[in-house]
Structure 1
Amino acid sequence: MPELPDVEGFREVLNSCARGRRVLRVEVRDTGVLRGVSATRLQREVEGRRLGRPRRHGKLLVAPVDDGPALVWHFGMTGALLCTRTDDPLHAHDRIVFALDGEQQLRYRDQRKLQGVRLAATPGAVEQILAGLGPDALGIERQEFVALLARRRGTVKSVLMDQSAIAGLGNLLSDEILWRARVAPERPARDLGEGEARRVFTAMRRVLAASVRAACVPPRRTWLTGHRDDEPACPRCGADLRSRRVAGRRTVWCPHCQH
């Protein structure tokens, strides 16, 4: 599933491929990825206009369009943005194609179509869409983060994954962060000591910094992500990893390292 680093990568794709370019044509190849907007309205509002500087908040990506409206992407499980040339073959899962001046295309590709694209008519409508999200995981300050954990019910992993608490973290990032911080995912968030909460914050910042550079959560051999599927051994201590569902998602952790 795309998480904050993936969406930051899509922001870079959008910025380099489409920012400042005029949209010549919008081809909606599958209306199943449209959310709250028809294909006809999307074409009417976007064709002939230029795309502005994109911004990301959590897992959402916003691209303003001339004169007020904005495209808002939620990538769900399998969504992605790609920059192609007009003569590149179409992929079976290319759902929307934005033909741009300069013989380039911006393509929204999505296999499972669990989320998709919205059109916000005004800047206020954009803010309304973002209103239910917590602070972005890259922007939250340490003191705010520690206070947030102290007042939230539920396990620390469920809080990290709750987009209304902190926006941008998903399953892989949360497991990696807690493994780095040596905190068990099922610990109640508000039971963490201040030192433990600070360790989680520091781990989050470091994991995000490396992941944003890679535009994904990298499956490195020194990371938990490099061992969670093929080698069930902790890359730090060699103990057997454990796996079960926490916060509704498959969770991997080291019972020897994480307490």
Structure 2
Amino acid sequence: MDGKDALDGAVIAVAGAAGPAGRATLLRLAEAGATVVGADADVERLAEAVDAARYAHGGATVTGETVDLLDQPATHAWAERIEQEYGRIDGLVHLVGGWRGGRSFAETDLADWDLLEKLLIRTVQHTSLAFEGALKRSDRGRFLLISAAGASSPTAGNAAYAAAKAAAEAWTLALGDDFRKAGGEDGPAAAAAILVVKALVHDAMRAERPSAKFAGFTDVKDLADRIVGVWERPASEVNGTRLWLTEKP
């Protein structure tokens, strides 16, 4: 089963859809035949990403909505609107990101934690709680978190970032356990999985730093391909797993 078959007619929500990874993901999901609903706080960049996916894949349904994912009732309302309009939700791809770090452990600024806790943990909590029921009702529900290798191998200057990513991973694995228990003896019908990268790279970064190697980085287009690929595998195979797109630390 290729990506087109796996996602034909599926309804996929993308949180953090306006950045380079979000833009690539909208394009790839639309190409695979999905109805795609993106959300982001940046209105202009979201509109550009949605328009690009629509233009590249004429006839594809790609929409965008400004949603404050730090507002739990608003996030729940977003999920409810999607299910009411399209009758189903088959996936939530969590691409909300952010980075703060320092030169050493002693120089860690806990204000960085305050920000990263919101961006990297709270948005995962709100989206997972909002979409969990619909994903269970789907015959191919997937909750996908994009994480970083640093969560498993934190460095001194990245304590806040690594700890936030690790917490988001733990939360996602707990959702996977919920899916496992709901499936009973038949195994999970839905899956929660973590795609782990070292870091992401895109064409604009390469243009800005033409001599940089970006060793071990994952191109956002390759990430989008791997996201689509999760739907090509059985839920029981990917649920509660870390899927490594870079070398394990």
TM-score by length of 1: 0.27
Structure that is richer in helix per residue: 2
TM-score, normalisation: structure 2: 0.27
Greater radius of gyration (CA): 1
